[in-house]
Structure 1
């Protein structure tokens, strides 16, 4: 265990970058967790913790869990409350942070999957992953848009990011073609009453549904390679649904 008392410490600066920069996360293949629940969740996940930063108060409050992380991590650092405030991405830091090595998804989509086409809002991305885990979707495919390791996305997922099979792709069109060849039915969700109602679709087989960007929807090229366009019937005056709400309804229909 090493004590860090300076906010200008190089390790602290580098860790802060993992909070604020998706580029830094991608280059270093690491991300950072904050708070007792998320940090301790790693103990029961497939992720490999790297460095833990903790205050004197947090180890007094959660001695067994904090010591378990200290044992698992390559580096452990006791920090001051001032440094915790510098590191924190929240208004009221609990005083524990964890850097974690990224891992690749299984890349094996077994039965039901949801794909995110350039979904930008980290709260939407996190909420979708949380709903996917709760409903029993086996994979979440992420194409462009928000990084799933964005701290806000991780918090919105309530830790589901640590447990779900998330697959990043740079070519969703090609992946859809491959899944179609593997027997998947593929659908793009659209806010268009002319599309097939989602309630009329038979989701009993292997299925992939695509959720589009908050402002522009699913890209035309991606819609073109899907088997069908589907829509959620709406009786009110709103023209569309929030991306995470649309995804949750879609996943419910896929699995009911």
Structure 2
């Protein structure tokens, strides 16, 4: 255990980069978490703690949880309030932070109900979709050209679901979907169009993957071209489309009901 009292400490600066820079996260194969709930959730996930930072105040509130994390982490640092404020991405830091090793194993999507995110850029939307996916029982998530799922805003919006869901990144979503079709999946792209099939009329009983598109431009044309159906969520009123997070939640509900 080591004490850090300067916010200019190089360890603090390097850790802060994991909160703010996707490049730093993937170069170091680490991401960072803040807050009691997210940090403690790592103990019940497949991820391995790397460096733990905590204040004496947070230890008084959660001694058993901090001790459990300390046993698993490679490095443990006791910090003061100034360092806590430097690391924090929130207005009222709780005083506990954790860096976590990214998985090096190649993940695979199995059978079941899958959601693919095509160029979804808002971390709040990505996090909300991942949270809803876990709550509803989706079997896996594919991301393509999306914001980094380890972005601190996306992690917070997911309420820790990022740590528990099977999430893989595709470098070529069209190819990924074609491969899934050869394995018996039906591919559906969601679109805000009255000419598309109503989602309530789709039979999702088999293996299925539904694609949620970019907030502004929707699903890419090449992805639509390899889809079995273009599907839409029926809407009343004058709204032209739904927020990606909302559309994702409704789509997943329909896939699983």
TM over 0.5: yes
Task: State the SS of the aligned residue for 1:106.
Answer: coil
Task: State the SS of the aligned residue for 2:121.
Answer: coil
Number of equivalenced pairs: 256
Partner of 2:100: 100
Displacement after TM superposition at 1:108 (Å) = 2.6
Separation (CA, whole Å) in 2 of partners of 1:105 and 1:32: 21
Separation (CA, whole Å) in 2 of partners of 1:86 and 1:105: 34
Separation (CA, whole Å) in 1 of partners of 2:106 and 2:57: 35
TM-score normalized by structure 1? 0.99
Separation (CA, whole Å) in 2 of partners of 1:34 and 1:221: 38
Separation (CA, whole Å) in 2 of partners of 1:179 and 1:29: 28
1:150-184 Cα shifts (integer Å, max 9, x gaps): 00000000000000000111110000000000000
**Conservation of the 8 A alpha-carbon contact between 1:116 and 1:141:** yes
Partner of 1:62: 62
1:237 aligns with 2:238: yes
Distance 1:28 1:66, change over 3 A: same
Displacement after TM superposition at 1:105 (Å) = 6.2
Separation (CA, whole Å) in 2 of partners of 1:24 and 1:44: 25
Separation (CA, whole Å) in 1 of partners of 2:210 and 2:110: 12
1:77-117 Cα shifts (integer Å, max 9, x gaps): 00110000000000000000000011256313221100000
Separation (CA, whole Å) in 1 of partners of 2:210 and 2:35: 33
**Conservation of the 8 A alpha-carbon contact between 1:122 and 1:146:** yes
1:19 aligns with 2:19: yes
Alignment of 1:66-215 (within 5 A): 66-103=66-103, 104=105, 106-215=107-216
Partner of 1:249: 250
Q: Point out 4+ residue stretches in structure 1 off by more than 2 angstroms.
A: none
Unaligned stretches of 5+ residues in structure 2: none
Separation (CA, whole Å) in 2 of partners of 1:143 and 1:94: 33
Separation (CA, whole Å) in 2 of partners of 1:66 and 1:110: 37
1:7-59 Cα shifts (integer Å, max 9, x gaps): 11111000000010011111111100000000001111110000000001011
Separation (CA, whole Å) in 2 of partners of 1:112 and 1:54: 39
Unaligned stretches of 5+ residues in structure 1: none
Displacement after TM superposition at 1:198 (Å) = 0.4
Task: State the SS of the aligned residue for 1:214.
Answer: coil
Task: State the SS of the aligned residue for 2:175.
Answer: helix
Task: State the SS of the aligned residue for 1:240.
Answer: coil
1:215-240 Cα shifts (integer Å, max 9, x gaps): 00001111111111100011111000
